[in-house]
């Protein structure tokens, strides 16, 4: 892979639904009610059910592994959850190259809500094949 600083990853748009949150709750084993029980979510001050942070992390993981393909290996991956996201709203995953030193490439990655707010921000380090 011939990469340079500023290169953008092909964007990945996910369309989470409440059904997917239930599916994810089961697959991860995280049954915290804020992810599928609207009354409970509202009782703790949320506008409704919200996406699991780790589901958004999985979306950003897919952004990186789709782009990387067989061209390298994901070495590290870090995300901070800065805002909540609700099902029914598309989630846009984006990223760009911030450093490229030989095989080691650093990425800035983030997830945006439909209003353009970066509700998840992070970085990833990949090792690319020469």
Residue 2 or 79: which CB sits closer to another protein? 79
Using CB under 8 A, pick the residue from 4, 44, 101, 116 that binds another protein. 44
Residue 6 or 53: which CB sits closer to another protein? 53
Which burial class, exposed, middle or buried, applies to 10 when counting CB atoms under 10 A from its CB (0-12, 13-18, 19+)?
exposed
CB atoms within 10 A of CB 18: 15
Q: Is 23 in the site for another protein (CB under 8 A)?
A: yes
The string of DSSP codes covering 15-33 is ---HHHHHHHHHHHT---G
Q: Is 66 in the site for another protein (CB under 8 A)?
A: yes
Residue 4 or 49: which CB sits closer to another protein? 49
d(CA 77, CA 64): 9
Q: Is 109 in the site for another protein (CB under 8 A)?
A: no
Using CB under 8 A, pick the residue from 74, 106, 108, 113 that binds another protein. 74
**Alpha-carbon torsion, ordered 23, 27, 29, 31, to 10 deg:** -10
Q: How many residues bind another protein (CB under 8 A)?
A: 35
Residue numbers at the binding site for another protein (CB under 8 A): 14, 20, 23-24, 26-30, 32, 34, 44-45, 52-55, 57-59, 61-62, 64-66, 73-81, 122
């Amino acid at each position: 892979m011939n990469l340079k600083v500023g290169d953008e990853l092909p964007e990945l748009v996910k369309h989470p639904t409440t059904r997917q949150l239930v599916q994810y709750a089961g697959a991860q084993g995280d049954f915290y009610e804020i992810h599928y029980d609207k009354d409970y979510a509202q009782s703790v001050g949320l506008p409704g059910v919200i996406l699991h942070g780790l589901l958004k992390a999985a979306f950003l993981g897919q952004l990186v592994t789709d782009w990387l393909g067989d061209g390298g290996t994901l070495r590290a991956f870090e995300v901070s959850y800065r805002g909540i996201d609700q099902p029914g709203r598309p989630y846009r995953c984006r990223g760009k190259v911030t450093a490229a030193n030989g095989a080691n490439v650093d990425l800035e990655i983030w997830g945006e809500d439909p209003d353009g707010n970066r509700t998840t921000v992070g970085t990833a380090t990949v090792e690319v094949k020469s």
